[in-house]
Structure 1
């Protein structure tokens, strides 16, 4: 694709796939069932009573679970999606990253329901320039049915791109995007702050890690939500985390490179002493020394004039890491539901 005309012609070839079946239709390997619902709820920490008992329903966000083929997969489901990806591979768009998914739930699923599903290539974008490279956003839509009745819709979007710096991409490579000597470092992305989590970020600005606590059942929860997923109560107050935690799980990020980040680095799922988990960076030890079960301590890192983030320090100096903020305070007793962020 060396000219504007070539690019337009290639985009037109891609868009010809819109509306074509991504794969042939499928049948869920198992009916909706209580054991799988239980496993899901335990993994997610979701104790909502609607998911247990004789009148139980499946958590709506389990929608895609009932379509998965497991390790053995689904046989005989070839479709246009593989052709489309091969066409993009041939044009140098060999890298892929999932960007987002959307789900709709017109009907609740219940144990015993047998699902069928089919998928279509819903849209292919025009050529897009991104930090990762130049490529195309591809959206597929899967419709899940029970007895012919639509039970849910799952849209999944990926970016299929030529990595920045490659011959097939017009984007800059990592070296080009790095700041020159004497220039300020790239600006870190800002967290999304909304009315449901503003109190959390206000606490972080004061070097306090605040956890929501339900005013009805006293269950702690994180991340912040507008209501309790255990009892449904909309009222809550906050407690300040002690800062003690352990690494519950972790990944080491190597790719993709992104301005203001310097891979490889460790991203951990930290289990706090208060019983909730938070995703954050693990610092204080080399990335390849992070281990599950490793004790860590809360610290606050300043990245620029207006961005402070909670991180977790491992290693011998973990106990001193809280010096970045005030001393932990005693946990307050449950109150009448407050939303003052502290």
Structure 2
């Protein structure tokens, strides 16, 4: 297959991290994530492993240069009619702790191109790139990022052309894996479940295979009471995507239980959302298969974004 010929070819040019691993970025990350693990502060501090990609980012002024082979691959898919793209998942592997002062380099390759797949969004190909992050000669970690390049599937069950034009495409589905399947099963039953470490009692979200406070692998769940406040938020205008109706507010919600999660903020105009605003949990059915938790400000009852 012609697309398979791109496997193993560069997806981005080799670059050095814009900044060395440093305590200031580690502190900001931990404050934003609410992570108080003592391993990330003090004279022997390490960087949180989940910051791996942060050290490769170029900021708002630029991005790592894509390699010709990767642009050529995406161009072939565009020419064949697979013009839409959606990010599906990413995964990281941590091989060496990063410490303040480490200088990183990174490169990226096209790791795999799938066979043609039929999905609920449409027909297309999954393209996986792998970024390798090094400190000197040592491989510190890998970051895999997977997208679906696809042709959108036309709406089904609509016989009248005017109704076809009005039908929205399906909202993207959350990526469900073995680590978070219990969370989404709870959502399906209209329960918002929070992981709790059975060793130290620390609550955590998003769901993880182990405790970030003590490293314990065992856990159970507690059900959230459904009350929270807006810790931070953004108002989405771009990029346009026909499954959504911009502008709309996406909030980082601090639950009464102390963990934070992301969700749409409803009930007030998006330009009226404010940090500290109280919100309450609702479950919204977007279609016959998709239920998502959303957060409604109690002052008004308005249509879902």
Q: Compute the TM-score of the two structures, normalised by the length of structure 1.
A: 0.66
Given the alignment, which residue of 20, 24, 34 partners 1:45?
Answer: 34
Q: Deviations over 1:299-340 (max 9, x none)?
A: 45678999976543335357xxxxxxxxxxxxxxxxxxxxxx
Q: Which residue number in structure 2 is paired with residue 60 of structure 1?
A: 49
Tell me, which stretches of 5 or more residues in structure 2 are unaligned? 164-169
The reply to whether residue 110 of structure 1 matches residue 96 of structure 2 is no
Aligned-partner SS, 1:142: strand
1:269 Cα offset (Å): 3.4
Report the alpha carbon displacement of residue 79 of structure 1 after superposing the two structures with TM: 3.2
Structure 2 match to 1:80: 69
Q: Which range moves more in the overlay, 73-82 or 150-159?
A: 73-82
Equivalent residue number for residue 230 of structure 2 = 246
* Structure 1 stretch displaced more, 269-278 or 309-318: 309-318
Identify the range of structure 1 (209-218 vs 294-303) with the bigger mean alpha-carbon deviation.
209-218
Please tell me whether the aligned partners of residues 271 and 278 of structure 1 are also in contact (alpha carbons under 8 angstroms): yes
Q: Distance in 1 between matches of 2:76 and 2:63?
A: 23
Is structure 2 residue 15 aligned with structure 1 residue 26? yes
CA distance in 2, matches of 1:216, 1:101: 29
Larger radius of gyration between Structure 1 and Structure 2: 1
Shift of 1:30: 1.5
Structure-2 change in CA distance of 1:235 and 1:111 (3 Å): same
Given the superposition, is the C-alpha separation of residues 179 and 245 from structure 1 closer, same or farther in structure 2, using an over 3 Å criterion? farther
Q: List aligned pairs for 1:217-228, cutoff 5 A.
A: 220-225=203-208, 228=211
1:269 is the counterpart of 2:255: no
1:195-223: CA deviations, max 9, x gaps? Answer: 98759966985x76555566887755334
- Picking from 279, 302, 310, the partner of 2:262 is 279
Match of 2:132 in 1: 143
Separation in 2 of the partners of 1:204 and 1:126? Answer: 31
TM superposition shift of 1:108: 1.2
Q: Which runs of 5+ in 1 are unaligned?
A: 1-11, 165-170, 319-342
> Is residue 280–residue 298 contact of structure 2 (8 Å, CA) maintained in 1?
no
TM-score, length of structure 2 as denominator length: 0.73
Query: Offset of 1:248 from its aligned partner?
Result: 3.3
Could you say what secondary structure the match of 1:37 adopts?
helix
Give the match for residue 241 of structure 2. Answer: 255
Alignment partner of 1:121: what SS? strand
| 1:263-311 Cα distance to aligned partner (Å, 9 max, x none) | 677654333344332334444457x566244432234567899997654
> RMSD between aligned alpha carbons?
4.0
Compared CA separation, residues 272 and 120, structure 1 to 2 (3 A):
same
Q: Which residue of 2 aligns with 1:94?
A: 83
